[in-house]
A and B are shown apart, each in its own frame.
Chain A
Amino acid sequence: MSMRHGSLAVCVKDHFWEEHAMSKILIVEDEQHQRELYAMELQEEGYQVDQASNGKEAVELVKNNKYDLVVLDIRMPEMDGIEALGKILSRDKKIPIIIYTAYSNYKSNFMTWTADAYITKSSNLGELKEKIAEILASRSK
């Protein structure tokens, strides 16, 4: 339903936004409410959004779909973000990944995993949205 909502939004965008609307984002977050919130907000921004509730699901989805960007939480059941990051990157090195977590101090550790960005979770999604736009813009060039 939310996907339909997203595609509806795409219809009203102009050509520039259409291109962006083509951007497919995977949200990996175990907390359902948060995940749904991000999905809603990002779909309203015109992105196509898929959701995964843990690392394992994310890895499965990445296997079968092509995503333009992954937003990855760290602490999740079954498979955490760190493991998932490694597995995703081992499949597709070029896929941009944004770490989005409630931890404020994993930054230095994740540098080694070459995540594209590190953002501490906030109720204000502005920072996340800006980062996504920035990364996708640089990729589309």
Chain B
Amino acid sequence: MNRFFSIKLSFSLLPEFLLISGLVVLYFYRYEAGGWFFPLTALAAGTYAIVRFFLSILTRARFYSRMQDVLSTINEFKKGKFSTASNSGQTGKGPFSSLMSELSVMGKHLENILSTQKTEISNLRELYHNIVLSISSFFIALDEKEEIIFANESFCKKFQYELEDIVGKKIDTIFIFLTSTIRESIKRVLQGHEAVVLEKTHLVSANKISIIADIKLTTMVVKGRTQVIFVIDDVTAICKKDFQINLISQVSESIQRDDEIDSVLHAILIGVTSGSGLGFNRAMLFLANPRDKALKGKMAVGPDTMEEAIKIWSSVSECGVDIYSQLKSYNENKEGGGKLIEKVQTSSFSLKDEANIFVRALNSQEHIHVYDAYNDERVSEEIRGFMEVREFVVTPLVSVNKSLGVIVADNRFNQTPIGYDNIELLSIFAFQAALLIESYNNLHMIKKEMGKIRDRQEAMVESEKLAAVGRIASHIAHEIRNPLVTMGGYARRIVQLARDVPKTGESIAKAATVVLKESERLEKTLSNVMDFSRASHFIMEFNNINEVISDTYELLKNLFQERRLKVDLKLDDGIPLVKSDFNQMKQVMLNLFQNAIDATPPEGTVTVATGANGDRITVSVKDSGLGMADDDIHRIFEPFYSTKVTGVGLGLSIVKKIITDHNGEVSVTSKKDGGSEFLINLPIPK
């Protein structure tokens, strides 16, 4: 630029240069001719030229400096500094001054525009900032490598991170786990798909802050690079309400379904723990057992380790609580918690130990919230070791002022503080569970009583039938015996009187004796068949009891098959013979078999075993039936009715009678629902 100016400068001074050079030539030429005119003129012209020359140089120099000013001002403008123009070029007149003043005005103008825009921008920025702050949404931006490049303040605040600490870190180091749906969605939006909205997703940060969030994933291209934007809305509070209402209705529904109590209680525990971000991490149920004076672990739900917890949480969908499908999947997969369940189910705390915090909650009928188990005096070492957690809550199950047990719950894994609403929820469930247990117990009792009544009724009908048969038989026996007695009595008389009759007397007596003997025989038969109450006239012979059993079994084989009962004969071939009446023994076995058949439901087993024990042989008839209550065992050998008439199938009293008549013993052992065993022993003759 300077060279350009110097060239231009030398060209513009050309006339002066020519004039001065002409004058110099003239001077030297005319001076030789003499005179004063020429030198004077030449001097004047020379002076003028010289002055002009210098003047012009001066002018040009000034122009140049002005020009420099303008250029520097323009340069300043270019740099965006408009205010500098107003400082210079204000003085003097001429084109440059006006130019400068023009520039200055322009500068001022521009500066005005600029400053207005600046305020506007800062206003906008403030507004934007306010908006961002005022909505609860959290923003994070990821680059293509899923590393965080930005997180807004609310995000940092919620998850308790410093921005500097998370920028540049991969997203999976910020959150403990990302569900497969989130991972998928990141990939999808990176591949150019439209925005993805994930509703009610569980997020747990590395520092154990857990929320339920609606997540919107979009992409943004900044300087040619794709960023993934997460807009996270915390919906935990809304979800919680929905979740609780849903849960309560489901549990009530399950109660109405009349399911097994265990599965409903299990459903309650799952309810309390499901929705990992909403419910508790673990829940344990303990029931008071008044008989053993102990609080015993019944069941538990919850993972054993953090890994298990993550596995469960990342597979379970949030809020969409369906306890039954969860219960089902829980039973099928047995997802973790094995150790916890075992630990709880084998635990037992004495009800007398009133210092025990579980027992204390049970007795006081109020929940106990332990914030710091390791420093809370109420918590014993035993419980600390059992719970292995700092914060937990114990809620009693109270029904009609009666404490039935406690539910203990904690957040062992995500360590979320236990809030009031969680405790409230737990109390509701505890109440439901208590009601359920109470009504179940009542129902159970009623069912049991009903069963007893029904059994008694059946027994009454049965014994009434037997009694009716007995009465008829007794009547028939009476009607037969009467004429027999008359016949026999007179025949006997004939025999006596005939002795005095000559000649024919003997043959009359003989004939009458036949009548007498036959009627005596009939009488005896009548007695044997009908009259067990009188000492029977046994035909004592040496019998093998095994044969008696086999014989009787053959007799009842079809009946066993019909009832689909398995008969297991474990007969000891080596048993000695016993002195007994074969038919009587058969009657005994018949009655015991009949009894076993009646007591055993289909597909059951009747086991008959014989053996020798010292000076006695033993016979055992064992069924896999319903067993008997203690009351029944004591009365089982009593006859139903005092008017009982002997005959087939009159029950165990006949068994007892016959065995006692054989100098043997009969006893029974029975467990409710565990079947009964009749044990007979008979003396081995010496």
> Is B truly associated with A?
yes
The chain A residues found within 8 Å of chain B, CB to CB, are 31, 33-34, 37, 40-41, 75, 101-105, 107-109, 120-125
Chain A residue with the shortest CB-CB distance to B490: A37
B482 to A123, Cβ gap below 8 A?
no
List B402-459 residues whose CB lies under 8 Å from chain A.
Answer: none
Q: Does B86 sit at the interface, judged by CB under 8 A?
A: no
List B485-512 residues whose CB lies under 8 Å from chain A.
Answer: 485-493
**A-B contacts, 17 listed (Cβ < 8 Å):** A34-B489, A37-B493, A40-B493, A75-B478, A102-B481, A104-B531, A108-B642, A120-B481, A120-B531, A122-B488, A123-B484, A123-B487, A123-B492, A123-B516, A123-B520, A124-B520, A125-B489
Q: Bound state CA distance, A51 and B285, in angstroms? A: 84
B474 to A105, Cβ gap below 8 A?
yes
Cβ–Cβ < 8 Å partners of A75 in chain B: 478
Partner of A103, one of B477, B492, B523, B527: B477
Counting chain B CB atoms within 10 Å of each CB, which of A31, A104, A107 scores highest? A104
The 6 A-B residue pairs with the shortest CB-CB distance in the complex, in nearest-first order:
A123-B488, A102-B481, A104-B531, A102-B478, A121-B485, A102-B482
A31 to B527, Cβ gap below 8 A?
no
Chain A residue with the shortest CB-CB distance to B482: A102
Q: Tell me the smallest distance from the CB of A32 to a CB of chain B, in Å.
A: 10
Q: Bound state CA distance, A31 and B477, in angstroms? A: 16
Cβ–Cβ < 8 Å partners of B470 in chain A: 105
Chain A residue with the shortest CB-CB distance to B530: A104
Counting chain B CB atoms within 10 Å of each CB, which of A120, A121, A122, A123 scores highest? A123
Given contacts A34-B489, A103-B478, A104-B527, 7 further A-B contacts (CB under 8 A): A102-B477, A105-B645, A107-B533, A109-B643, A121-B482, A123-B520, A124-B520
B523 to A122, Cβ gap below 8 A?
yes
Q: Does B257 sit at the interface, judged by CB under 8 A?
A: no
Cβ–Cβ < 8 Å partners of B531 in chain A: 104-105, 120
Q: Tell me the smallest distance from the CB of A58 to a CB of chain B, in Å.
A: 18
User: 1/0 contact trace for B628-650 toward A, CB 8 Å?
Assistant: 00000000000000111100000
Q: Bound state CA distance, A116 and B483, in angstroms? A: 25
Could you say which interface size class chain B belongs to?
Answer: 20 to 34
Given the contacts A75-B478, A107-B533, A124 and B493 also touching, CB distance less than 8 Å:
no
Q: Bound state CA distance, A121 and B486, in angstroms? A: 9
A31 to B533, Cβ gap below 8 A?
no
Cβ–Cβ < 8 Å partners of A34 in chain B: 482, 485-486, 489
Partner of B644, one of A105, A120, A123: A105
Chain A residue with the shortest CB-CB distance to B470: A105
Q: Tell me the smallest distance from the CB of A6 to a CB of chain B, in Å.
A: 16
Q: Bound state CA distance, A109 and B474, in angstroms? A: 14
Q: Does B534 sit at the interface, judged by CB under 8 A?
A: yes
Q: Does B519 sit at the interface, judged by CB under 8 A?
A: yes
Partner of B485, one of A102, A108, A109: A102
Chain A residue with the shortest CB-CB distance to B516: A123
Q: Bound state CA distance, A124 and B530, in angstroms? A: 19
Cβ–Cβ < 8 Å partners of B490 in chain A: 33, 37
B489 to A31, Cβ gap below 8 A?
no
Q: Tell me the smallest distance from the CB of A126 to a CB of chain B, in Å.
A: 10
Cβ–Cβ < 8 Å partners of B642 in chain A: 108-109
B643 to A105, Cβ gap below 8 A?
yes
Q: Tell me the smallest distance from the CB of A118 to a CB of chain B, in Å.
A: 11
Q: Bound state CA distance, A135 and B482, in angstroms? A: 25
Cβ–Cβ < 8 Å partners of A40 in chain B: 493
Cβ–Cβ < 8 Å partners of B493 in chain A: 37, 40-41
Chain A residue with the shortest CB-CB distance to B474: A105
Given the contacts A34-B482, A121-B481, A121-B482, A103 and B474 also touching, CB distance less than 8 Å:
yes
Given the contacts A105-B533, A105-B644, A124 and B488 also touching, CB distance less than 8 Å:
yes
Q: Tell me the smallest distance from the CB of B308 to a CB of chain A, in Å.
A: 72
List B291-340 residues whose CB lies under 8 Å from chain A.
Answer: none
Q: Tell me the smallest distance from the CB of A2 to a CB of chain B, in Å.
A: 14
Q: Tell me the smallest distance from the CB of A127 to a CB of chain B, in Å.
A: 12
Q: Bound state CA distance, A122 and B527, in angstroms? A: 10
Q: Bound state CA distance, A124 and B517, in angstroms? A: 11
User: 1/0 contact trace for B167-204 toward A, CB 8 Å?
Assistant: 00000000000000000000000000000000000000
Q: Bound state CA distance, A122 and B523, in angstroms? A: 8
Partner of A123, one of B474, B491, B530: B491
B486 to A104, Cβ gap below 8 A?
no
Q: Tell me the smallest distance from the CB of A47 to a CB of chain B, in Å.
A: 17
Q: Tell me the smallest distance from the CB of A128 to a CB of chain B, in Å.
A: 10
Chain A residue with the shortest CB-CB distance to B493: A37
List B566-612 residues whose CB lies under 8 Å from chain A.
Answer: none
Q: Tell me the smallest distance from the CB of B198 to a CB of chain A, in Å.
A: 86
Q: Tell me the smallest distance from the CB of B646 to a CB of chain A, in Å.
A: 9
